Structure 1
Amino acid sequence: MEPGETPQQALIREIIEELDTEIKVGELIDTVEYDYPTFHLSMDCFWAEVKAGHLELKEAEAAKWLTKDQLDSVTWLPADILLIDQIRKCMK
């Protein structure tokens, strides 16, 4: 986050920068706290929906949409694993 920015504003900015897409930020899913070997991660995770854009990958090497049944088909980073069950429960 940049100085003076809320977590929601930071997410909107990052998605524009990394995916060339505008989003509407919804409710907080959870805040993940995780200690990696070289740093501590504190990450607010929100539901979001696409408002406009074409989801162009600008920073990442790969991405894909997953259905509820496909969530376990990906090797998640340790901090991400903490959210998968919560996301699965809320997906239709």
Structure 2
Amino acid sequence: MQTIVVTAAIIKHRDRVLIAQRKENVHQALKWEFPGGKLEAGESPEQCLVREIREELGLTINVQKIFEVVSHIYGERHIILLCYLCRLIGGSAQTRDCHDFRWVEINELYFYDFAEADLPVVSNLQKRK
């Protein structure tokens, strides 16, 4: 079984959180998630998040602290999802490497079809709001 370390950003801005919809031609197509991506060799999770958010959405963020770690199995893939609280520094969100994005209130998260690995994060955010 392949283990993949993935980072995710919980970017809060003006009482809303940013979610992104996966592209049509990828694993978990069109599912919603907290944006981020795969950790590359030689980079820290924080560096990965800054890079991925810039590449996917055109935003600049400051990674603050770990929020939750999720272990999830998708078939032959074991995903370790490192979720960080982040602060928006600048930029205007764009769909550079995602299908769509939304700024939503935390109590609206359950209206979206999230990837399974992100569901514990949604639940935890709801509890802590």
Give the TM-score taking structure 1 as reference length: 0.91
Question: Which structure 2 residue ranges, 5 or more long, are not aligned?
Answer: 1-38
**Match for residue 2 of structure 1?**
40
Return the letter of the residue paired with 1:16: R
**Match for residue 120 of structure 2?**
82
More strand by share: 2
1:35-71, CA deviations, whole angstroms, 9 ceiling, x for partnerless residues? 0013111110001111011011111111111112211
CA distance in 2, matches of 1:60, 1:34: 22
**Match for residue 15 of structure 1?**
53
Change (3 A) 1:26 1:90: farther
Please give the root-mean-square deviation of Cα atoms over the aligned residues, in Å: 1.1
After TM superposition, the structure 1 = structure 2 runs for residues 7-46 of structure 1, keeping only pairs within 5 Å, are 7-46=45-84
**Match for residue 60 of structure 1?**
98
Give the aligned length: 91
More helix by share: 1
CA distance in 2, matches of 1:65, 1:90: 18
1:4-51, CA deviations, whole angstroms, 9 ceiling, x for partnerless residues? 211011000100111111100111011111000131111100011110
Q: Relative CO higher for 1 or 2, CA cutoff 8 Å, sep ≥ 6?
A: 2
Q: In percent, how many aligned pairs have the same letter?
A: 26
Question: Which structure 1 residue ranges, 5 or more long, are not aligned?
Answer: none
Return the letter of the residue paired with 2:115: L
Give the TM-score taking structure 2 as reference length: 0.66
* Runs of 4 or more above 2 Å deviation: none
